[in-house]
Amino acid sequence: METTNPHQRSAIAEFRALHESGCFILPNPWDTGTARVLQQLGFRALATTSAGFAYTRGRPDDTEAVPLAEMLAHCAEIAAATPLPVNADFQNGYADDPEGVAENVSRCIATGVAGLSVEDATGDEAAPLYELGLAIERVRAARAAIDASGIPVVLTARCEAWLVGDPDAERVAIDRLIAFADAGADCLYAPGACTADQVAAIVRAVAPKPVNVLMSAPSPDLPFSRLADLGVRRVSVGSALARVAWGGFIRAARKLADGSFDGLADGFPYGELNAMLRRKD
């Protein structure tokens, strides 16, 4: 079936076009307000952050801490907040088996997102990545669910080898991303790749499919222009913007607890923020 949501249909077309050439930054809001501000600042697409959203609920970044229903409602809220395409940080698809992944991907598509990512981390310290064959089948299941929906959202497949501390992370990530590309992923992503050589190797391995790189801290060796030169199509920041906001809040609150108002000096001007959120374009 085809989508009956004109907003989603146009957002998907815009999102796919962004992946065809050049490089764009995909910032990660964690609520309606931050999504609208990012739109006002001129970004062309957004992505949810599972961590940033979990923190607003006073919970850790964990699939068990934030139930699927809450995450789906959050994705729908962010997708409706602006006209921009939204990519859903859909963690492990909220299921281990391919059938469960397919069912949940279908539910995520229905929230109005333009794309979604599925990762291969299990959350189990003893076996932190899904066995390769199962990981591939999970991507195939997500691809099949998208195709069956008739709504061509962008499927990003993630390998978490670096994040789980795999001792051979680069080889594991490249092997898996190649397999995920063959299984139907539109975009490939290995958070934790942090050197030019690592990024370049991933881009070469999965070409011509686009690659997402995570930048969660300043990197003099990998400015945006360098990432673009390396052939990266998409740069996201994960929980970084949320953690920057939390950092400012906690530092100011600590000073306040000591009886000092000095930490309040860094607040964004009240009138300017109100004006940004009044705008509807």
Give per-residue pLDDT as tens, 199-238. Answer: 999 999 999 999 999 999 999 999 999 999 999 999 999 9
33: confidence class by pLDDT, cuts 50, 70, 90: very high
CA 56, 59, 60, 62 dihedral sign is negative
Give the Cα separation of 211 and 19 in Å (integer). 9
Residue 35 has pLDDT above 90, yes or no: yes
Mean pLDDT of 118-122: 97
Residue 111 has pLDDT above 70, yes or no: yes
Q: What is the pLDDT of residues 160-181, one digit of tens each?
A: 999 999 999 999 999 999 999 9
Mean pLDDT of 232-247: 98
Q: Is residue 91 left, alpha or beta, with left meaning phi > 0 and alpha meaning psi from -120 to 50?
A: left
Q: Where are the domains of the chain?
A: 6-239
The predicted pLDDT at position 175 comes to 98
- How large a percentage of the chain has pLDDT more than 90? 95
Mean pLDDT of 53-60: 97
Give the Cα separation of 80 and 31 in Å (integer). 11
CB atoms within 10 A of CB 149: 16
Mean pLDDT of 265-281: 91
Give the Cα separation of 209 and 259 in Å (integer). 54
279: confidence class by pLDDT, cuts 50, 70, 90: confident
The predicted pLDDT at position 1 comes to 43
How high does pLDDT run on average in the chain? Answer: 96
Give the Cα separation of 130 and 161 in Å (integer). 11
Residue 62 has pLDDT above 90, yes or no: no
Contacts from 269-276 at CB under 8 Å and sequence distance 24+?
Answer: 273/37, 276/36, 276/37, 276/40
Mean pLDDT of 144-160: 98
The predicted pLDDT at position 281 comes to 66
Residue 2 has pLDDT above 60, yes or no: no
Residues 65-99 as b or e (16 or more Cβ within 10 Å = b): ebebeebbebbbbbbebbebbbbbbbbbbbbeebe
Residue 5 has pLDDT above 50, yes or no: yes
pTM: 0.96
Domain spanning 6-239: CATH 3.40.50.1820: no
